[in-house]
A and B are shown apart, each in its own frame.
Chain A
Amino acid sequence: MNFVARKTFTSLLALALFAVAANAAESIYVKRATLADTRAATAAAIEARFGEQGYTKSPWLSLGAFDNSRGDGLHRSFPPEDRLDPNMEYLGMGGQRIRWQPFDAPDGVSCNLIHYSQNRAVVCYVYRTIVAERDMPATIFVGSDPALHIWLNGKKILEEMTQHSLTPDDSQLAVQLNKGTNTLLMKIAYFGGGFGFQFHMSARSRAELAERQRLLDEMETRLQQDFPTGEAAYYQIETIPIPRDIVLEVGGMGFRSDGKLFVCTRRGEVWLGDLARNEWKLFASGLHEALGLLVQKDNQIYVAQRPELTRITDTDGDGVADLFETVVDQFGVSGNYHEFHFGHVRDRAGNLVCTLNCGWNRFAVSTVPLRGWAYRVAPDGTNFTTIALGFRSPSGLGTSPDGDVFITDSQGDWWGSSPLIHLKEGSFYGHPASLAWTRNYRGPPNPHDIAPAQLAMLKTQPAAWFVYGPLGQAPEEPVWDTTGGKFGPFAGQMFVGDQTKSSLFRIALEKVAGEFQGAIFPFRAGFMSGITRSVVAPDGTMIIGMTDRGWASIGGRSFGLQRVRWTGRVPFEIHTMKLTPTGFDLTFTKPVDPRSAAVAMNYSLSHFYYLYHFDYGSPKQEETPVPIQAVKISADGRTVSLTVPKFVIQKIYELHLSGVRAADGSELVHPDAYYTLNRLIPAQ
């Protein structure tokens, strides 16, 4: 086989040579009286500026099949190349009389020509006309399987000889349309395998198309500002534009001392973004599923990738990494797609802490060493030590301002719902696969066969449970509001993004009988993709990194970067839910209205738990209403004390408020709280 690529390539490497900038100079926004009118008017203005216009395309015609049995069909010239006439009859393969047929091929969609092959190697043609109002430039985006040639107005504009599977938009051709009718002929050869093409075009440049999307995103941000409703009145989501060429499936993020943001991606690239100037530069590439990033110095980062933890340095100061040093590879990689390597945070002593995902074979498995474990290592690669085990898919790691490491895992086998785990030396958190790598393990060959009752005695409870559904389905990296008030009234609290729900949740933990437990609250929904990583920016906003590739998110886009900004308005929220000897204290962000807050019926409290078993997830077990015996409001009106008849430990207490208002009349933005009760306050 001989592969020849003659077309202009635009590989990601080429991008490395240039800083990619998205121009953010302009703004199109037409304000009207209502949100709907403003959105409609602005969208119309953006379309008027960047929409497609000036040409019309005919439907496609297709013609086949011609002989390619000797495999030279791309080199041979068949009659349509000499005489292009949609009404002409041609002599095709085996002397068959063939004509142009209507061919339904919607723009941008991969279309199949396989009906022409009938198990023979063949060549066929597709043809359409484009009528332009004037001489104009345009871009043709085309992908084919296996290879194709394109003629515009009789002139060959693409000669693609490489046989490959169909990649949409594989070739992007800048062309000039003439005023009047233009003819477009494409020849596609079939050698076996797939047979088809994909096509669309635009009179807009790639930069213009990117600009159109940026303006639409910007419009959504401004609509939140001008017409604040619900959560958006207090916390705005702004979309950070990303140049069109970058597939920024965020796996890790970290700010440099100069305020530039390093982002590593699932495709193994590390980008350095200047968010203020919308400039992005490729710092490193070729890594294997990079899912954690920590900035060491401005020219040096640590990245967790599938095979190892790597220190990446730009030694010569040209802004591009040139040294990749293996820091840790003392763990197994079997080749299973699910064996992710998540990183990584610094513990109190300055060590790096990472987690090793289990593999997946119908359930989470640990077939190679240390899958399902957390480890730490000194930054110089010495003192590699395991810390804890019993993880399934521990994809989120964070260190609290006090130096405690927290890890989120995902609902699945042995996890009835997703847990928030306080990482402690020597603890087993419940997923048994990892037990296979304890020293002198003598249990059954498959640790999943250990009796749940036995495992239950070994395991350490999570600090809190993300109730499956209302509190997301796939929690990721915990971050803390370290802004001292710039991010609103929740200074010091923890925030966790969710990949499936494209939402942020807020967590207020407390120490009871020496261990963390506490409450989780909904915080902000409506992000564009699945949240994977979050980081607090120097300006007191929070940057949310996202991708949902392979796992759907309600955000719907496959990746993205957004910023959450506090508008300065204080939302009426339950600030904390704390355990008392007799019930719970709810502290609010504003004083409550004593009339509505004193009504016991306005608080619905119930408790339940999750099963600890091999099965995937767990329904809520024994949901039991809890009567509220007394409601007491503190002198400052900020704290409401609820009294319950008795507590049951190892339950999740689900609280819903209805009708409770603030003294200023505002309603709760989120009237829901979920408190994980592991321990009771010890009797004095």
Chain B
Amino acid sequence: MRQTTFILLLAALALISQPLPAQEKKNAPGLLGRASDGTRTVTFVTPTASFTLGAEQSIHPQLQSAFTVEWSGMLTVLRAGQYTIFANPGAKVLVDGKEVQNQPVQLDAGERAVQVKFQRASGPARLQLEWQSAFFRREPVPVSALSHRDEPAELAATRQAERGRELVEELNCTACHQPANKLLGGRRGPELSRVGDRATAAWIFQWLENPRHFRTNAVMPTVLTNAQDRADAAGYLASLKSPKPAAPAEGARAESGKELFGKVGCVACHGDGGFSLTGLGSKFSAGELARYLANPLAVDPSGRMPNLALSASEAESLAAHLVQSRNADFEKAPPEGNLSRGRMLVAMTGCANCHLVKDTQGEVRAHLEPPPLATLNPANGCLGDAPSAKAARYDLSAADRDALRAFVKSPDVSEAPVQDFHRTVKAFNCAACHELNRPAKISAEQMPPGLTHAGDKLRASWLQQVLLEKKRVRPWMDLRMPHFGDAVQSLTNFFAAQAGAEPGEGERVAAPSREQVDAGVKLLGTAEGGLGCINCHDFRGEKSIGALRGPDMTEMDARIRADWLRRWLWEPSRIQPGTAMPAFFQDLPAPKAEGMIASLQHALRAGRDLPLPAGLGNAVGSYVQKVGAEPVLIRTFLIGSNARAIAVGLPGGQSYCFDAQVARLRFAWTGGFLDLKPVWAGRGGAPAEMLGPKWYEAPQIFPLRIGNPEADPAKVAFKGYRLENKTPVMLYEVDGVRVAEKITAVGRGLAREFTLGEMKGEVWFLAPPVPGINVTSTAGLFTNGRLRIPGGKSVRFTINVTPQ
């Protein structure tokens, strides 16, 4: 084949750089909020102006529950026209300074100044900013349409105090310093009762000197500054072991562990700039690491390392990969330790404040009681610029120290679901894998669902199943949904609360009638009048029938709120731009579209009781190809042939496969001809099924030789076929000689009738013995499986292939 001058051209093109469009200064996403409870005023940014609050909850953690709030920013209007912006009672919405809520208003295209004001009355409160226009249905105003420009200086102060709060909880300050406010959380350290399984005395000794030497972002403080103290504590802790060490796994493959590391999502937290795993082999044995990976929450229930639902062999492979990295410093033998002194240090110096430690004498009780949080002097102790020798040393940055000091000044907090949501999501790094108001950090072939609209979409009971009960609705994805246990329980309600959605389960359609189920199931299926949902969606655990896979149809209702599903069905790309889900209904007359959407939603309510839609299991149409009085030729994929296969069914039950890729007979079978369902159903294109046993497999050589029987032909080319009274005659060329091969059924076997064009020399037909097969010829003689026929103007001979 002649390749055109691509390389030169590509190279030349590479030199031309195209001018890039000039970048304008962009608005920041979200709206600027300013709220006050009469005593304090806070300034903050939220993606939108929405919330759902219980009676005691507030709009911001730093405020009491009686508040007024005002958001300001820009609303991007892409198309001029009439819009209605909806807001709940108690709220006012101003566009370009004019009050517009709950009434139609004409908006020009462009960025419009928007303000949202709300005054809290007692009791539960809710605000969900929604809009509708001729261009889209009523929906929450999308986060992408809201932005703000100028950020006032007060924003930094509020953010600093919030960062301080975050640090108090991440560093577990309240384990030592009693908080007055019960809402202030903390995160316990891992249980150490069997820490000797997971780390050696050498490693613990080094770790205690400064955990940040092992991992720069470790949160554990340095407490023991004396080497002998560390040796004693390390000796004691390393002695705490399971009765039986975890056996090293056999057959664990580090390479597949490496692949898993990238695939299941470890890199989301342990990638560049994340939590380093360097030197892990100096801490863990492969067997113990596998035991830990199988369920990290067992030893560290409030930790950040999730349960990834790894199988035993996955955990073993991953461990085998990770222990390859070692750090010699952490393997140096420590000084001899005094175990009972070590136990005392664990109790007295604060270890037991954060860590649960049980040994043969029972739980080690904490004996350290620093001052309560409210009475701390932010300039001294752990927070001092130069921490005293007595204080735990966290090596915090100056900014973090200032943030902690700012928070500790007035460490009172309210329950505030909007900020609590964002703080929790940040702590558990959800946005590493999930899109949440901005693209996810990682990229994968298949990305997990976005969370930006999840509060409007998902029912609380479904979130409960996903977050706490390991439910998965996209089981085909490589990435694993991590499980953090009870630590993320609060998210089941926060999702709706931060979106201003109805709390709990949200809208549900009424239970369907039999007729509604029938009409809906018809739409799900692929028969006439069906939308073919099952082409791309799983159904009651059955894989979709097409190449794409979407969530199971029988779990839609349990998962998704009815109002969201209605909007999604109407215009999927408005909610998720670029989705593969087609908009089926927009182009239909509205009453028909509404009727179909209602049928679907009602049918989906039946959940796992839905009958199978048409197209699943047995497909419609006739696929079995039968052979009557005339041969039938079908080009298709067949197992046992190259992809250019030609199947021919002959009258009487014989069928053969001619491989056009190599221009020779490949095999023959007897019985029925073909089931073409794999070829013709759904997307098709799978190999046809042969409806009978193969009785002949031709030798893996090209049988014809022109002149020289020893060498393969230099060139064999398939030229097509002709139908001679419906019987196919295969046409090809061997070293420039034209060959016509007509195959017919003779008795229990096949007759291969060759006609060759003019040639000099002789023709050879090679037939190495095939067990159970007789090969005979109408001309020439076989010697050692080779038939020799003299050449001439036209050569004809027939080879009969018959079972013995």
Taking Cβ atoms with an 8 Å cutoff, the residues of A that contact B are 1-3, 5, 9, 11, 13-14, 109-110, 143, 145, 162, 164-170, 194, 196, 198, 247, 266-268, 285-289, 305-308, 310-311, 315, 321-326, 329-330, 333-338, 360, 362-363, 384-387, 389, 411, 416, 425-426, 428, 438-440, 454, 457-458, 468-469, 473, 500-503, 525-526, 548-552, 554, 556-558, 601-602, 604-606, 614-620, 623, 625, 627, 648-651, 654, 656, 658
Contact = CB atoms under 8 A, between A and B. Distances in A.
28 contacts: A11-B627, A11-B632, A110-B618, A164-B675, A164-B691, A198-B618, A289-B684, A322-B724, A330-B1, A338-B685, A384-B2, A426-B4, A428-B10, A438-B3, A438-B10, A468-B573, A469-B571, A550-B683, A551-B535, A551-B546, A604-B81, A617-B577, A617-B578, A617-B579, A617-B580, A623-B76, A648-B21, A658-B81
A305 B635 contact: yes
B624 A164 contact: yes
A165 B618 contact: yes
Nearest to A384: B1
Contact of B78 (A286, A606, A617, A627): A606
Given A13-B632, A428-B10, A601-B80, A3 B691 contact: yes
B109 interface: yes
Given A3-B691, A322-B722, A552-B535, A168 B672 contact: no
A288 B445 contact: no
Interface string B686-716: 1100011100000000000000000000000
B677 interface: yes
Contacts of A266: 680, 684
A627 B110 contact: yes
Nearest to B686: A337
A501 B17 contact: no
B737 interface: no
Nearest to B653: A3
B722 A323 contact: yes
Contacts of B628: 9, 11, 13-14
Contacts of B587: 501-503, 525-526, 554
A165 B680 CA distance: 14
B633 to A, nearest CB: 4
A286 B632 contact: yes
Nearest to B110: A625
Contacts of B76: 623, 625
Interface of B: 1-7, 9-10, 13-14, 16-19, 21-22, 76-81, 108-111, 135, 443, 445-447, 526, 528-533, 535-536, 546-547, 571, 573, 577-580, 582-585, 587-588, 614, 617-618, 620-628, 630, 632-637, 642-644, 653, 660-661, 671-672, 675, 677, 680, 682-687, 691-693, 718-724, 731
Given A268-B634, A554-B587, A338 B547 contact: yes
Given A329-B644, A337-B685, A267 B680 contact: yes
Nearest to B78: A606
B797 to A, nearest CB: 24
Contact of A385 (B4, B626, B653, B721): B4
A322 B630 CA distance: 14
A167 B719 contact: no
Nearest to A454: B14
Contacts of A604: 78-81, 109
B578 A2 contact: no
A416 to B, nearest CB: 7
Nearest to B20: A650
Contacts of A363: 445
Given A288-B635, A288-B636, A627-B110, A458 B621 contact: no
Nearest to A621: B577
Given A457-B14, A558-B528, A550 B719 contact: no
Contact of A620 (B577, B625, B718): B577
Contacts of B723: 321-324
Contacts of A164: 624, 672, 675, 691
Provide the main secondary structure of the chain A interface.
loop
Contact of B720 (A194, A325, A651): A325
A550 B544 CA distance: 11
A567 B536 CA distance: 38
Nearest to A627: B110
A286 B635 contact: yes
A167 B621 contact: yes
Given A1-B693, A650-B18, 7 more contacts: A3-B691, A306-B635, A315-B722, A426-B6, A552-B526, A604-B79, A617-B580
A602 B81 CA distance: 9
Given A3-B672, A601-B108, A658-B81, A550 B582 contact: no
A549 B722 contact: no
A550 B535 contact: yes
Contacts of A454: 14
B685 A389 contact: no
B610 to A, nearest CB: 13
Contact of B671 (A1, A9, A337, A526): A1
Interface-central residue, B76, B80, B536, B621, by most chain A CB under 10 Å: B80
A389 B533 CA distance: 33
A563 to B, nearest CB: 20
Contacts of B5: 426
Contacts of A310: 720
Given A337-B683, A625-B78, A438 B720 contact: no
Contacts of B672: 3, 5, 162, 164
A363 B680 CA distance: 22
Nearest to B518: A106
Contacts of A411: 578
Contacts of A627: 109-110
Given A11-B632, A337-B686, A307 B618 contact: no
Contacts of A5: 626, 672
Nearest to A171: B622
Contact of A167 (B443, B546, B622, B633): B622
Contacts of A550: 535, 546, 682-684
B718 A165 contact: no
Nearest to B677: A165
B573 A458 contact: no
Contacts of B685: 289, 336-338
Nearest to A307: B644
Contacts of B445: 362-363
A326 B683 contact: no
A330 B110 CA distance: 54
Contacts of A654: 78
A164 B724 CA distance: 31
B578 A616 contact: yes
A489 B135 CA distance: 28
B578 A619 contact: yes
Interface centre among B17, B531, B680 (most CB of A within 10 A): B680
Contacts of A650: 18, 21
B77 A552 contact: no
B112 to A, nearest CB: 10
Nearest to A166: B618
A498 to B, nearest CB: 10
A360 B588 CA distance: 32
A326 B731 CA distance: 9
A42 B343 CA distance: 93
Contacts of B17: 457
Residue with the highest number of chain B CB atoms closer than 10 Å, among A286, A500, A618, A619:
A286
Contacts of A311: 720
B371 to A, nearest CB: 52
A616 B580 contact: yes
A473 B579 CA distance: 10
A623 B571 CA distance: 18
A5 B626 CA distance: 9
Contacts of A620: 577
Nearest to A646: B22
B692 A324 contact: no
A109 B108 CA distance: 54
Contacts of A305: 635
